[in-house]
Amino acid sequence: MQDKLITGPRKKQPKMLAFVDKGKCFGRGCEMCIHVCPVEDCIYLVPDPEPGAIGEVCEVNVDTCIGCQLCAKFCPPDYDAIHMFKHDEGLRLGEVEETSFDYRLYNKKKGGALA
């Protein structure tokens, strides 16, 4: 595994943030996103939230994500588990569903959910 290039706090808000569709993530055994991410401990394995599932899937720490998009580019096309979203749309983390990719984006200008 390569040494991580970024180990401290990010210097500015990224334009994009990565999110993992846990229903599509292969998790342990792939881990391509973890290996290509330049930020230490930004992407890590968590227990698969699917009822009855065993194993782990990847999760992105949105507080440390720099929006470089490497994880999305290197996620195998068969999985297509990582998606990038504009940071300025603002993700309302309290509305993220842990068991699916049912998330809500919040548009501050319009004052409501986008998805």
pLDDT in tens, 64-112: 999 999 999 999 999 999 999 886 655 554 344 343 344 444 444 445 4
**Domain spans in the chain, listed from the N-terminal domain onward:** 16-88
Confidence (pLDDT) at 98: 40
Separation of alpha carbons 85 and 5, rounded Å: 23
pTM for the structure as a whole = 0.69
CA distances from 36 to 42, 51, 109 (A): 11, 29, 34
Confidence (pLDDT) at 100: 37
* Start-to-end Cα distance in the chain: 37
CATH class held by domain 16-88: alpha beta
pLDDT digits (tens, 9 = 90+) for 9-64: 666 777 889 999 988 998 888 999 999 999 999 999 999 888 888 899 999 998 89
